[in-house]
Amino acid sequence: MRSLPTYQDILAAAYRLEGHAHRTPVLRSATADARWGAQFFFKCENFQRTGAFKFRGAFNALAKFDAAQRSAGAIAFSSGNHAQAVALAARLLAMPALIVMPQDAPAAKLAATRGYDAEVVLYDRFTEDRVALAQRLAAERGMTLIPPYDHPDVIAGQGTAVKELMEETGPLDRLYVCLGGGGLTSGSALAARALAPQCQVYGVEPEAGNDGQQSLRAGHIVHIATPKTIADGAQTQHLGAYTFAIIQRDVTGILTVSDAQLIEAMRFFAERMKMVVEPTGCLAFAAACAASEASEAERAMQGVRVGVIVSGGNVDMARYAELLAAC
């Protein structure tokens, strides 16, 4: 293991991302503020390139490659937002990319990944081990494997979103972050510790997949079976060695929300803020709403300045309509 990334690494990542990643908007909602009695600041990574924050980490990691790594290129395994992030980052940096994706990945995701000029290698989820396959291909072709969250350069890249947020808002009182493998949460916590030492930072996972919460309680990384949840970007089975170490040190707590709460948040974003947010991207806001409802008696949220990371907006439209129609 390398040493843990620091805020200095986030500053360096921000410099690398300048002119390549979007500086995403920080949106407000008077309706949300009135309804939940807090001041919400939404950092909208659904408007990031490729539709999710993952472009930040992927681009930062690939931009640090040396000449030999650049000529051989990058490899990743993912059926989700990390695949497109690595594919686009590689294209912008003019290097080859190979993405290992499941045979039964949605056609739209395969097309999007190929659309960024990446080579796609398909595998059978039921009979093949994608990590072993990716490692074999990496060795054969001399390519560098970039994992979706447990990598210092990926974590530092993800941390640039909260750096931008707090540069714009000043120090916030609370910050809610969507949590899967913990790249976004650990990077966000590093940025928050530097820019707002008093800020309470919460990672938010799906109720069905609370491995992060269990890990904090146990004091070691807990592995779970792939959880059943509509938050497909947070179906991770465990945190990483780097992400767990940072989360354990710098995060206030880990909260969970149900799929029904995610759909309510998704509807709020659509109706009130006119934004398409994927289920996983709704984790943070769903928990922020629940926290304010729980604390209504004490008016604990009154006037509190709350940062909410809206992590992504990639959802198949037929699926999106189906989820919104269901309740």
List residues with catalytic annotation.
54, 79, 205, 209, 211, 311
Give the pairing type, strands 74-77 and 144-145: parallel
The amino acid present at 208, given as its one-letter code, is A
Chain residues that interact with ligand PLP, rule: CB under 6 A:
52, 54, 80-81, 148-149, 178-185, 233-234, 236, 278, 280-281, 311-312
Query: Which residue's beta carbon is nearest to the bound ligand PLP?
Result: 312
283 vs 304, beta carbon nearer ligand PLP: 283
Shortest Cβ distance from residue 241 to ligand PLP (Å)?
14
Shortest Cβ distance from residue 220 to ligand PLP (Å)?
18
39 vs 50, beta carbon nearer ligand PLP: 50
82 vs 174, beta carbon nearer ligand PLP: 82
262 vs 304, beta carbon nearer ligand PLP: 262
Shortest Cβ distance from residue 318 to ligand PLP (Å)?
19
The span from the CA of 161 to the CA of 305, in Å, is: 17
Shortest Cβ distance from residue 86 to ligand PLP (Å)?
12
* Angle at the Cα of 215 from the Cα atoms of 212 and 216, rounded to 5 degrees: 90
243 vs 292, beta carbon nearer ligand PLP: 243
Strand order in the sheet with 74-77: 119-123, 97-102, 74-77, 144-145
Shortest Cβ distance from residue 311 to ligand PLP (Å)?
3
